[in-house]
């Protein structure tokens, strides 16, 4: 695929000059702090009540204030928050060309449309992965700052792998959102699809069929429904990969073959 | 002369609406071809088909000798274009917008950005965000993107849109120079008919999706309606004198006499002499030439009438 590197450079330039990276970082940064907040409460619920951090009637979630629980919370928040945030990034990267009416400038160039689509996917992937890494590093800082008890390297490794896998599965699912942004010609259709996917993921996970619904899989893998459901069968991973592949193909085909009269 | 653009019975339908109806045209290399039409006539849809953005329902498009179809290697490295209102990435500066476009056009040298900034008079705005540009400067930026890589063919949709009179003259001069010095072909749509008359070598008039006429500017001169208009102190009496002398003259409601016959147009002095001899010296005598605007509206009106008549039958 010729001219890919310069095309990625162009896509990064567009992202870098916008406010969206900062907004997504700000939004995603809440994850470790919210996790840290829960850890403080779990460490000493009575103190939290006295300080007014929680209501006297609040039910404290089951778990203990340790690295394993904290990293588990970060993984779950990454799976759910990431689905919304990474989906938003994908909506912006693809949908902005329609909303800003800049698409027409990209359609009759010596750089193939497929190269442009691929460059956009690369940017979405790297941007989302970078956010995950930053959030992971902030989480380590927050965990140390709230003085979580020391733990073993194995627990760290396990928690980190869970965050990485949950994030990877979540990132894989942004490709259908890119398709909706392209076929829907703007931001709103993909965001609508995203909200629908998140709602369906909750409902289907609650019915016990979540491992077969792609958008339920990352949160299940992160341990949202409890550690007993976190060990998913290979079929769940294949379903996510298949959905990701469908999104990629759909987006390439749409950019390549559909009438672009917008 | 080689053909830069060629379409054969090009059709585009959206459901039951035919946006472009069997348009066949040829644009020779080094020619400035103006595509005229009312809003919704099919100009932009045709341009989008030329650029491979919209697939024809039927027919063929060849640009610089290459068929524009999915799967073919298109000639876009040699084509510069501007479709509808130019839009740029608002958060990028003018320079960054051009740099982005340069990188998407491999082979365009780095100094092309500064060169086109200077050429298009964008120096003052080079480091301003594109979102803050006026309509006219946005148009200049759009044209800069189309021209930066020194294309062999320019496809421009309303290139003078939003430009002030000085800007229009500048663009006209620039396009003429490109054609004269570099042999660039220009295919442009426009609704500024006076501009088209000054710039184009040939004109295609599209109405309701159909190419109703194609003509060279010289032919346009011949086809334009001319009339001799005169006035005297007593037009009714002067009209009677002209009729008596076997001239075809019409007395208009605004107390003016109109003559369209070739003899009258060729010999206005004879008309004046006859009237003076009869004691009705003209107070005004002029030959009026139909401008492109009126010619265009007459043609479109005729096409409209023809279509209605066909539907009635």
Closest approach of A1 to chain B, Cα-based (Å): 13
φ, ψ at A158 (rounded to 5°): -60, -45
Task: Kindly state whether residue B310 falls inside one of the protein's structural domains.
Answer: no
* Beta carbons of B209 and B20 less than 8 angstroms apart: yes
> For the packed helices A67-99 and A20-43, what is the interaxial angle rounded to 10 degrees?
160
| Residue B252 scores a pLDDT above 60 | yes
3-state secondary structure (DSSP) of residue A205: helix
Kindly report the pTM of this predicted structure: 0.86
**Is B248 found in the same domain as B110?**
no
pLDDT score at B147: 95
Which candidate from B52, B76, B85 shows the least CB-CB separation from A110? Answer: B76
* Domain final residue, candidates B207, B222, B237: B222
Interface of A with B (CB under 8 A): 2-3, 6-7, 9-10, 13-14, 17-19, 100-102, 104-111, 116, 256-257, 259-261
Q: Looking at the complex, report in whole angstroms how far the Cα of residue B196 sits from the nearest Cα belonging to chain A.
A: 25
| pLDDT tens readout for residues B45-55 | 999 999 999 99
Of the listed ranges A10-19, A97-106, B44-53, B263-272, the least confidently predicted one is B263-272
**Residue B69 confidence (pLDDT):** 79
Residue A45: what pLDDT?
A: 73
Contact B104 A261 (CB under 8 A): no
Whether A16 shows a pLDDT value over 70: the answer reads yes
Based on the structure, what is the number of domains in chain A?
Answer: 1
Section A25-46 average pLDDT: 86
Over 60: is that where the pLDDT of B1 sits?
no
For residue A259, the chain B residues in CB contact (below 8 A) are: 53-55
**Within-domain flag for B121:** yes
Domain assignment of residue A26, yes or no: yes
* B107 and B19 in a common domain: yes
Number of inter-chain CB pairs under 8 A, A vs B: 80
Q: Which helix (H) or strand (E) holds A193?
A: helix A188-207
Residue A68 domain boundaries: 4-257
Looking at residue B270, which CATH number applies to its domain?
3.30.70.790
Once rounded to an integer, what is the mean pLDDT over residues B55-77?
88
**Minimum-distance CB partner of B90 among A6, A100, A106:** A100
Residue A198's pLDDT is: 93
Residues of B in contact with A260 (CB under 8 A): 48, 53-54
Phi-psi region at B121: left, alpha or beta (left = phi > 0; alpha = psi -120 to 50): left
Q: Running DSSP on this structure, what letter comes out for residue A18?
A: S
**A201 in a domain, yes or no?**
yes
Residues 6+ apart with CB under 8 A from A128: A82, A85, A86, A89, A167, A170, A171, A174
> Given B45, B92, B105, which is nearest A17 (Cβ)?
B92
Burial B229-251 (b: 16+ CB within 10 A, else e): ebbbeebeebbebbeeeebebeb
DSSP letter string, B124-192: GGTTSBGGG--HHHHHHHHHHHHHTT--SEEEEESTTTT--HHHHHHHHHHHHHHHHHH--EEEEEES-
Indicate if B71 and B173 belong to the same structural domain. Answer: yes
Task: With cut-offs at 50, 70 and 90, classify the pLDDT of residue B310.
Answer: low
Q: Which chain A residues are closer than 8 Å to B84 by Cβ?
A: 101, 104
Which chain B residues are Cβ-neighbours of A7 within 8 angstroms?
103-104
The answer to whether the beta carbons of residues B50 and B68 sit under 8 Å apart is yes
Task: At B300, list the tokens.
Answer: 């479109």
Q: Determine, yes or no, domain membership for A82.
A: yes
Q: How far apart are CA A86 and CA A78, in angstroms?
A: 10
Q: What is the pLDDT of residue B189?
A: 92
Same-domain check for residues B23 and B167: yes
Task: Name the residue with higher pLDDT: B221 or B264.
Answer: B264
Q: Rounded distance, CA A18 to CA A152, Å?
A: 41
- Cα gap A137→A131, rounded to integer Å: 10
Q: What is the ipTM of this complex?
A: 0.88
Cβ contact (<8 Å) for B103 and A7?
yes
d(CA B151, CA B143): 12
B19 and B163 both lie in a single domain:
yes
Domain boundary among B188, B222, B256: B222
Residue in B51, B90, B100 nearest the CB of A10? B100
**Same structural domain for residues B75 and B204?**
yes
Residue A38 has pLDDT above 70, yes or no: yes
CB spacing of B103 vs A260 below 8 angstroms? no
Q: What is the pLDDT of residues B149-184, one digit of tens each?
A: 999 999 999 888 888 888 888 888 999 999 999 899
> pLDDT tens for residues B276-308?
999 999 999 998 887 777 788 888 777 776 767
Looking at chain B, the whole-number percentage of residues with pLDDT higher than 90 is 67
Choose, out of B97, B104, B127, B145, the residue to mutate when testing the contact with A (most A CBs < 10 Å).
B104
**Distance from C-alpha of A69 to C-alpha of A35, rounded to nearest angstrom:** 9
For residue A262, is it within any domain? no
- pLDDT single digits (tens) A168-208: 999 999 999 999 999 999 999 999 999 999 999 999 998 98
In a domain, B302, yes or no: no
Stretch A16-23: mean pLDDT: 94
- Tell me the CB-side half-sphere exposure of residue A176, using CA atoms within 13 A: 17
Contact yes or no for B53 and A107 at CB 8 A: yes
A109/B105 Cβ within 8 A:
yes
Residue A54 pLDDT: 63
Write out the residue range of the structural domain in which residue B264 sits: 226-289
Is there a contact between A213 and A204 (Cβ–Cβ < 8 Å)? yes
Please tell me which residue, B191 or B132, carries the higher pLDDT value: B132
| Contact assignment for A261 to B96 by CB distance below 8 Å | no
Domain total of chain B: 2
Quote the CA–CA distance of B139 and A253 in Å, as a whole number.
31
Give the mean model confidence (pLDDT) for residues B10-29.
95
Which pLDDT score, from 0 to 100, does residue B59 have?
A: 96
Q: Is residue A125 part of a domain?
A: yes
Query: Would you say residue B272 lies in a domain?
Result: yes
* Whether B169 and B112 share a structural domain: yes
Does the residue A23 lie in any domain? yes
d(CA A215, CA A221): 11
Could you read off the pLDDT of B212-237 as tens digits, one per residue? 999 898 887 777 788 899 999 999 99
The answer to whether the CB of A216 falls within 8 A of the CB of A204 is yes
Confidence band for B85, pLDDT divided at 50, 70 and 90: confident
Q: pLDDT of A42-91, one tens digit each?
A: 777 777 667 666 665 555 555 688 899 999 999 999 999 999 999 999 99
Comparing CB atoms, the residue among A7, A260, A261 nearest residue B104 is: A7
- Mark whether B72 and B187 lie in a shared domain: yes
- Convert the pLDDT of each residue in B105-141 to its tens digit: 999 999 999 999 999 999 999 999 999 999 889 999 9
Q: Are B200 and B258 part of one and the same domain?
A: no
Mutate to test the interface with A, among B48, B103, B138 (most CBs of A within 10 A): B103
Q: Are residues B105 and B213 in the same domain?
A: yes
Q: Residue B263 falls within a domain, yes or no?
A: yes
Q: Give residue B279's Cα distance to chain centre.
A: 47
Task: Write down the pLDDT at residue A135.
Answer: 95
β-bridge partners, B25: B7
CB A224 within 8 A of CB A79: yes
pLDDT at A20 over 80: yes
């Amino acid at each position: 695929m010729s001219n890919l590197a310069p095309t990625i450079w162009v896509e990064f330039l567009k992202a870098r000059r916008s406010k969206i990276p900062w907004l997504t970082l700000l939004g995603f940064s809440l994850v470790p702090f919210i996790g840290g907040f829960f850890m403080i409460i779990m460490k000493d619920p009575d103190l939290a009540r006295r300080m007014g951090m929680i209501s006297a009637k609040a039910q404290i979630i089951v778990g203990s204030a340790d690295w394993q629980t904290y990293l588990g919370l970060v993984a779950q928040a990454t799976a759910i928050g990431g689905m919304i945030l990474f989906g938003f990034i994908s909506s912006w990267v693809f949908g902005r060309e329609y909303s800003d009416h800049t698409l027409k400038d990209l359609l009759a160039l010596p750089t193939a449309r497929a190269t442009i689509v691929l460059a956009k996917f690369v940017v979405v992937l790297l941007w989302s992965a970078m956010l995950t890494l930053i959030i992971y590093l902030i989480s380590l800082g927050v965990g140390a700052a709230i003085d979580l008890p020391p733990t073993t390297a194995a627990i760290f490794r396990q928690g980190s792998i869970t965050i990485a896998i949950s994030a990877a599965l979540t990132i894989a699912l942004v490709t259908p959102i890119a398709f909706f942004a392209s076929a829907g010609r703007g931001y709103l259709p993909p965001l609508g699809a995203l909200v629908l996917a998140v709602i369906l993921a909750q409902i289907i996970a609650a019915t016990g069929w979540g491992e077969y619904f792609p958008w339920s899989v990352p949160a299940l893998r992160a341990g949202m429904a409890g550690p007993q459901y976190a060990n998913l069968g290979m079929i769940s991973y294949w379903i996510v990969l298949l959905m990701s592949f469908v999104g990629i193909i759909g987006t390439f085909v749409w950019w390549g073959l559909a009438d672009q009269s917008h | 002369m080689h053909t830069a653009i060629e379409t054969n019975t090009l059709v585009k339908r959206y459901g039951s609406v035919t946006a472009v109806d069997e348009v066949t045209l040829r644009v020779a290399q080094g020619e400035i071809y103006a595509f005229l039409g009312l809003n919704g006539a099919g100009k932009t849809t045709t341009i989008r088909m030329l650029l491979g953005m919209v697939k024809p329902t039927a027919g063929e498009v060849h640009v610089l000798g290459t068929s524009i179809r999915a799967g073919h290697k298109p000639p876009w490295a040699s084509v510069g274009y501007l479709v509808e209102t130019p839009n740029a990435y608002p958060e990028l500066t003018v320079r960054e917008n051009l740099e982005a476009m340069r990188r998407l056009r491999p082979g365009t040298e780095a100094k092309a950005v500064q060169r086109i900034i200077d050429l298009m008079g964008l120096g003052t705005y080079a480091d301003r965000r594109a979102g803050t540009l006026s309509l006219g400067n946005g148009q200049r930026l759009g044209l800069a993107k189309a021209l930066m890589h020194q294309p062999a063919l320019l496809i421009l949709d309303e290139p003078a849109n939003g430009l002030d009179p000085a800007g229009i003259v500048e663009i006209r001069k620039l396009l003429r120079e490109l054609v004269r010095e570099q042999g660039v072909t220009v295919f442009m749509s426009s609704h500024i008919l006076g501009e088209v008359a000054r710039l184009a070598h040939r004109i295609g008039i599209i109405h309701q999706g159909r190419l109703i006429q194609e003509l060279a500017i010289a032919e346009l001169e011949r086809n334009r309606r001319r009339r001799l208009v005169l006035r005297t102190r007593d037009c009714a009496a002067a009209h009677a004198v002209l009729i008596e002398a076997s001239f075809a003259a019409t007395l208009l409601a605004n107390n003016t006499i109109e003559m369209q016959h070739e003899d009258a147009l060729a010999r206005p002095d004879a008309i004046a002499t006859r009237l003076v001899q009869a004691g009705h010296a003209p107070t005004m005598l002029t030959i009026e030439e139909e401008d492109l605007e009126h010619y265009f509206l007459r043609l479109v009106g005729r096409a409209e009438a023809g279509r209605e008549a066909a539907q009635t039958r």
